[in-house]
Amino acid sequence: MCRLPPCSGGETAEDGRNALYGRKSLPAQRMVEMMGGIIASVPGATAQGLVWGVMALGVYVTYKLLDIADLTVDSSLCTGGAVSAVLILSGMHPLLSLLFAVLAGMLAGLVTGILHTRLRIPAILAGILTQLGLYSVNLRIMGKSSVALLRQPVVISLGNIPMALFIGAVSAGAVVACLYWFFGTELGCAIRATGNNRRMVRAQGVDTDRMKIIGLVLSNGLVGLAGGLLAQYQGSANVNMGRGAIVIGLASVIIGEVVFGARFNFAYQLGAIVAGSVIYQIVIAFVLQLGLSTEDLKLFSAVTVAAALSVPVLKQRFVRTKAVSAPAEGGNRDAEA
Higher-confidence residue: 223 or 20? Answer: 223
Tell me how far CA of residue 215 lies from CA of 21, 38, 203, 293, in angstroms: 66, 38, 20, 37
Higher-confidence residue: 177 or 20? Answer: 177
- Other Cβ atoms within 10 Å of 198 Cβ, number: 17
**Domain, as residue range, for 161:** 40-288
For the chain, what percent of residues have pLDDT higher than 90? 58
Q: Mean pLDDT across the chain, nearest whole number?
A: 86
Is residue 16 in some structural domain? no
User: Region 244-255: what's the mean pLDDT?
Assistant: 89
Which 3 state secondary structure label does DSSP give 146? strand
The answer on pLDDT for 325 being more than 90 is: no
DSSP-assigned letter for residue 66: S
Tell me how far CA of residue 108 lies from CA of 19, 75, 98, in angstroms: 64, 9, 15
Cα distance between residue 109 and residue 21, in whole Å: 65
Is residue 131 in some structural domain? yes
The answer on pLDDT for 20 being more than 50 is: no
Alpha helix positions (H), the chain? 13-21, 26-60, 73-89, 94-117, 123-142, 161-182, 186-196, 198-203, 208-234, 245-260, 266-289, 297-336
Is residue 122 in some structural domain? yes
User: Region 112-130: what's the mean pLDDT?
Assistant: 95
The answer on pLDDT for 61 being more than 90 is: yes
Is residue 30 in some structural domain? no
Is residue 112 in some structural domain? yes
Is residue 14 in some structural domain? no
Contact assessment for residue 108 and residue 263, using Cβ atoms and an 8 Å cutoff: no
CATH number of domain containing 171: 1.10.3470.10
What pLDDT digit, counting tens, does each position of 208-249 carry? 999 999 999 999 999 999 999 999 999 999 999 988 899 889
Is residue 144 in some structural domain? yes
The answer on pLDDT for 15 being more than 70 is: no
Instruction: Determine the pLDDT at residue 219.
Output: 96
Instruction: Determine the pLDDT at residue 17.
Output: 52
The answer on pLDDT for 173 being more than 60 is: yes
Higher-confidence residue: 56 or 41? Answer: 56
Is residue 85 in some structural domain? yes
Domain count, the chain: 1
Number of Cα atoms under 13 Å in the Cβ half of residue 190: 16
